[in-house]
Structures are given as structure tokens and as C-alpha cells.
């Protein structure tokens, strides 16, 4: 029986452990923090017996690897897939605009949804449709050195269109501004959403916490198959001999008896590892050196419990706002601010002042008096920044050692940092073991 060590208990590491355990390999999963789930985990507010996630993660119908895993874990009853694309956007004057696919006749339903998106003039809507149709024809070589903003301007998308459509989509999917985001990566996102079938553009919402959907069932399966899960244990040293990892040491143990090791941690954590050669000297392989070059963007999530929930839709996108998305969970709402580096450095009172001001501006019926509890969660390095430089960087980071493998959303080179990228990387590793 092959023995595999997986370093990192986020979604990529959990997915790899799950699929490799199905091949009857023995898995030792080691996670530095006390909990599993990485950047996707659930918490409980005991005051209201209510589960909430560290942050709202938007999933879509084109997330094939994610949805397949959810089915395998018997978690399908814990999600809700839209019958058709429907997103309500709100502007600063409290006007609501729906981006809705009113029929199932793909792809005309998606084009018609854009045509009916009245936040934009008819002329601008036609330019958006022309832009989306052009995605199928554009070449990778034409986009690899462009930012999203440069690409949009080249395709006659004006400021109004960028502010009332593209800005929130880019920030929501890429967690960085159009000025930084890679046009190539964003084109891949748009292809998946608009050009891969009727179900791809549908939004997938969760009915329970992410831990209940992914973490708990995988943990149960791994234990059932006699695998090991070790938390609060951090990898420190990797010992190399003849192009192979012969031994690793953590803050608690030394491991020597294994066939392969999977590193499922972000690049900034890889850059802190010690690689030690046969002579006991610490050295830096290219993968470690390059890992230090990644840049990161934060996400801020504010969870508000209300005495009276005045929000009718399941989620909203806010146009030209300091906050981007509001998700309605019944007992509480979750407010997500992507690309949140500036606001994340503020204190609680400063953050709430901005959030309350925006909520009252966009939803006049909202009042601060309705707020009965608050949880603020800052993810300082929530995602890597998928800019032009990262495209080059991700291609260069490969393992120099025969039995060491890197996985994670950052290794799925075609896409930004998403749940789908993390799960896809974990699933695909089974072909290399």
C-alpha cells in the first residue's frame, strides 16, 4: 500500500486526501492550524444557534469538479443551484437591476439577459454582447500581456459599462481591480461562464456552512478508511537525497516512511520551508525562491444578525459601492468586500461606519438599530493576485523532486483563486501519484 503525506488541510489538500484514499492509499494529512478547511471553514454563533462561514464563497454551475465532489460526498442537499441565472444589482440611488436569463434557450438566454440589463444604455448593452461573442474568437497570445482594464478599453467598453458591470464581476471573481487583473485569466472565467453550456452561469448557493459540505464528510471518510489527520502540526524541514524527499520534520514529529508528499499550502507558506540536502545544508530550490514573489489580496467579511431581516433577495451585487456583495442567510446577512486591503487595516468602528453608511444608502429601509450582533473576519492573504506577472510565475513553479508535488488553487494555471481551482488541483494530483 502506498503511503502519502498531504501537507495542508484546505480544500486542495482535503480533496487530494479524499481521492487518494479511494485508491486505497494510506494518507497522513498534516495541518498547521487547529482546524481543517483552510480559507473555507464554518463557525457557530451560539447566541442564535446559527452557522456562518469565514467568508462567502460564490460558486457557479461551471464548477464541475466542485459539484462532482459535492455529489460524491452526499452534500447535494446542502446547496441550491439556481434554475436560471438571476442576479440583482443595486445602485447608489436604490434602483435595482436584474441580470436574468428568462428562458433556457442557451446561449440566447444569456445574451437576452444582458440585453435586458437596464443599468446600462441599450448602446452599451450591445457593446457588452459584442464583447462576449468576441471571447470565443480571441487568441491567448493577444491577452497574456494585457490587464482586464486594457482589454475592456480595447473592446470599446466605456467607463459607465466598466463601473456598472465589469468592475463588480472582475473584483468578485479575481479579488483585484481591473487595473491589475490578467485579461487572459478573466477571459478563461468568462468562457467558462458564458460559453460552456446553459448550467454554467447559474449561481450555486449554500444552505449550510462550507465545513458541513466539504470538511466534515471528507474527515469522516478518511477516518473510516483508517487514515490519519493531524492538526496543530506545522511542516518545517524537507530533507532531500538524490532528487527525492527522504524525510520531513514538523514541530512535533519526524516522518520517513512514505512514498510521496503533497504540499497543499499557499506560496507564502512554501517560502518559509527549509530544504536540506544530503550534507545537512539548507538550500533554496527554484520553487521556494519563486514562491516568495507572489502578491496577495485580502477579503473582508462582515456578518450581521438582524432583529428584522429587511432583505428579500438571496443575494445582491452593489454597483459603485465600498462593499460588493450582500448574501441573505435568513438569520443573518453576510457582506463581502473583495480587494479589501485598505479597509481591512481599519478598526471595527471604522469598518462598521462604512458598512452602515453603504447599507443605508443602497437600502434606505435598513437601520443600525436592527443590528443585534456582529462578526468581522479579515482574510489578509485570502487569494493570490491573478495579474500578468502571476501567469508567468505559476508556469515556473514546479517541483524539482520526484516524489514531491505542489497543489492548490494557485497551481491551476488557467483560473484565479477559487474553490474550483483548489478542488481541481487536488483531484488532478491522483494522475501523478
Rg of the chain over CA atoms, in angstroms? 22
Could you say which of 181, 201, 221 is where a domain stops? 201
228 and 183 in one domain? no
Report the percent of the chain where pLDDT is more than 70: 100
152 and 196 in one domain? yes
307 and 283 in one domain? no
First-residue to last-residue Cα distance in the chain? 12
- Please, what is the Cα angle at 203 between 197 and 205, to 5 degrees? 140
415 and 284 in one domain? yes
| 158: number of Cβ within 10 Å | 14
Inside any domain, residue 89: no
Could you say which of 201, 235, 268 is where a domain stops? 201
**What is d(CA 12, CA 339) in angstroms, rounded to the nearest whole number?**
23
**What is d(CA 302, CA 282) in angstroms, rounded to the nearest whole number?**
43
Phi, psi at 99, each rounded to 5° = -100, 100
Inside any domain, residue 172: yes
Cell of 408: 492548490
Contacts of 350 (CB under 8 A, 6+ apart): none
346 and 229 in one domain? no
- pLDDT tens digit string along 160-197? 999 999 999 999 999 999 999 999 999 999 999 888 88
Average confidence (pLDDT) over 248-263: 97
Per-residue pLDDT at 57 = 81
Average confidence (pLDDT) over 358-366: 96
The answer, yes or no, to whether residue 251 has pLDDT greater than 90, is: yes
| Residue 249 Ramachandran class (φ > 0 left, ψ -120 to 50 alpha, else beta) | beta
The domain containing residue 374 runs over which residues? 296-383
**What is d(CA 290, CA 164) in angstroms, rounded to the nearest whole number?**
37
247 and 272 in one domain? yes
**CATH no. for residue 390?**
3.50.50.60
303 and 243 in one domain? no
22 and 109 in one domain? no
User: How does strand 26-30 pair with strand 228-230?
Assistant: parallel
- Please, what is the Cα angle at 7 between 389 and 20, to 5 degrees? 105
Cell of 319: 454597483
Phi, psi at 323, each rounded to 5° = -115, 155
- pLDDT tens digit string along 192-214? 988 888 889 999 999 999 999 99
- Please, what is the Cα angle at 406 between 405 and 412, to 5 degrees? 130
424 and 288 in one domain? yes
Q: Number of structural domains, the chain?
A: 3
357 and 221 in one domain? no
Inside any domain, residue 137: yes
Where are the strands (E) in 127-243, listed by range?
203-206, 228-230, 235-241
Give the HSE-up count for residue 179: Cα atoms under 13 Å, Cβ half-sphere.
Answer: 3
Cell of 151: 482589454
285 and 303 in one domain? no
194 and 102 in one domain? yes
Could you say which of 350, 365, 383 is where a domain stops? 383
Contact 312, 415 (CB under 8 A): no
Amino acid at each position: 500500500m502506498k503511503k502519502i503525506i498531504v501537507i495542508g488541510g484546505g480544500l486542495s489538500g482535503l480533496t487530494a486526501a479524499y481521492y487518494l484514499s479511494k485508491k486505497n492509499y494510506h494518507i497522513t494529512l498534516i495541518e498547521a492550524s487547529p482546524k481543517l478547511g483552510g480559507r473555507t471553514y464554518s463557525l457557530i454563533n451560539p447566541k442564535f444557534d446559527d452557522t456562518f462561514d469565514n467568508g462567502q464563497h460564490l460558486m457557479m454551475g461551471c464548477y464541475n469538479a466542485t459539484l462532482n465532489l459535492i455529489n460524491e460526498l452526499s452534500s447535494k442537499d446542502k446547496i441550491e443551484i439556481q434554475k436560471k441565472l438571476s442576479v440583482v444589482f443595486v445602485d447608489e440611488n436604490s434602483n435595482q437591476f436584474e441580470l436574468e436569463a428568462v428562458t433556457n434557450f442557451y446561449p440566447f438566454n444569456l445574451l437576452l439577459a444582458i440585453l435586458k440589463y437596464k443599468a446600462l444604455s441599450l448602446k452599451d448593452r450591445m457593446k457588452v454582447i459584442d464583447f462576449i461573442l468576441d471571447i470565443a474568437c480571441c487568441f491567448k497570445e493577444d491577452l497574456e500581456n494585457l490587464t482586464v482594464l486594457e482589454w475592456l478599453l480595447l473592446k470599446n467598453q466605456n467607463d459607465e459599462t466598466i463601473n456598472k458591470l465589469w468592475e463588480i464581476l472582475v473584483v468578485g471573481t479575481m479579488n483585484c481591480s481591473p487595473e491589475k487583473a490578467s485579461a487572459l485569466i478573466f477571459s478563461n472565467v468568462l468562457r467558462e461562464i458564458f460559453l460552456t453550456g446553459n448550467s454554467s452561469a447559474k449561481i450555486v448557493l449554500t444552505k449550510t456552512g462550507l465545513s458541513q459540505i466539504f470538511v466534515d464528510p471528507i474527515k469522516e471518510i478518511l477516518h473510516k478508511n483508517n487514515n490519519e489527520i493531524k492538526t496543530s502540526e506545522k511542516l518545517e524541514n524537507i530533507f532531500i537525497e538524490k532528487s527525492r524527499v527522504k524525510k520531513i520534520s514538523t514541530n512535533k514529529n519526524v516522518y520517513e516512511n512514505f512514498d510521496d508528499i503533497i504540499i497543499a499550502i499557499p506560496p507564502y507558506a512554501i517560502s518559509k520551508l527549509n530544504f536540506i540536502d544530503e550534507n545537512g545544508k539548507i538550500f533554496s530550490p527554484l520553487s521556494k525562491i519563486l514562491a516568495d514573489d507572489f502578491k496577495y489580496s485580502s477579503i473582508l467579511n462582515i456578518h450581521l444578525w438582524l432583529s428584522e431581516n429587511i432583505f428579500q433577495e438571496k443575494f445582491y451585487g452593489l454597483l459603485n459601492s465600498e462593499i460588493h456583495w450582500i448574501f441573505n442567510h435568513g438569520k443573518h446577512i453576510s457582506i463581502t468586500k473583495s480587494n479589501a486591503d485598505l479597509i481591512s487595516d481599519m478598526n471595527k468602528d471604522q469598518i462598521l461606519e462604512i458598512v452602515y453608511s453603504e447599507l443605508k444608502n443602497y437600502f434606505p429601509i435598513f437601520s443600525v438599530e436592527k443590528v443585534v450582533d456582529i462578526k468581522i473576519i479579515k482574510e489578509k492573504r485570502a487569494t493570490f493576485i491573478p495579474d500578468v506577472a502571476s501567469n508567468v510565475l505559476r508556469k515556473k513553479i514546479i517541483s524539482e523532486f520526484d516524489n514531491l508535488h505542489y497543489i492548490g488553487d494557485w497551481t491551476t494555471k488557467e483560473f484565479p483563486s477559487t474553490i474550483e481551482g483548489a478542488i481541481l488541483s487536488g483531484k488532478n494530483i491522483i494522475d501523478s501519484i
